[in-house]
Amino acid sequence: MGLEGSIRNQYYMAIDQIVPKEYKMMKRERRPPTNKMNALISFGNSLLYTTILSEIYNTQLNPTISYLHEPFERRFSLALDVSEIFKPILSDRVILTLVNKKILNNKDFEGKIGNLLLTETGKRKFIELWDQKLKTRIRHKELKRSVSYKRLIRLELYKLCKHFLGETEYKPLISWW
């Protein structure tokens, strides 16, 4: 987990290089989000966790048993594990689209620097783009058919099931598109 955290910090520093000044993060801070980018990442991650958890419930997997994050009966740590695969593919891409296409503005945030959250309007804009992204279809190279990003999450969970049942060795998703 320490290595994953270090890599993620490097990734966030790289994102700071491509976003407008008002969205630079400098440092990841969660509770509460201290600036616009932290607020967007926190909201995006919560949507991703919820989406993945709903897909876990469509499999035989137990959402409290995980392989990266510490298992804990009151935390759905498997959703946290799987989200690491999909953060750059889903959450981060939606965030960068919102920021770089100037879909959000100052009125979409409330609070002050040091304690900043999305307004209801800001959340609506984010969720609208999120839903579009989940419905976006890509050509799956192994299935040889088009699948949505939401379906791609379920397919990843099925790969985990097959691994745990001893049918195939788990190979994490690597984007090919």
**Count: domains in the chain:** 1
CATH number at residue 127: 1.20.120.920
Say if 160 falls within a structural domain.
Answer: yes
Say if 136 falls within a structural domain.
Answer: yes
Say if 58 falls within a structural domain.
Answer: yes
Say if 14 falls within a structural domain.
Answer: yes
Say if 144 falls within a structural domain.
Answer: yes
**From first to last of its 177 residues, what are the pLDDT tens digits of the chain?**
567 667 777 888 888 888 888 888 776 776 778 789 989 999 999 999 999 999 999 988 877 766 655 555 556 778 888 988 899 999 999 999 999 999 999 999 988 766 788 999 999 999 999 999 999 999 998 888 999 999 999 999 999 889 888 899 988 888 877
Q: What gap in Å lies between CA 177 and CA 116, rounded to an integer?
A: 34
Tokens of 153: 């999450």
Q: Kindly report the CA angle at 62 between 57 and 64, in degrees rounded to 5?
A: 110
Tokens of 70: 């510490």
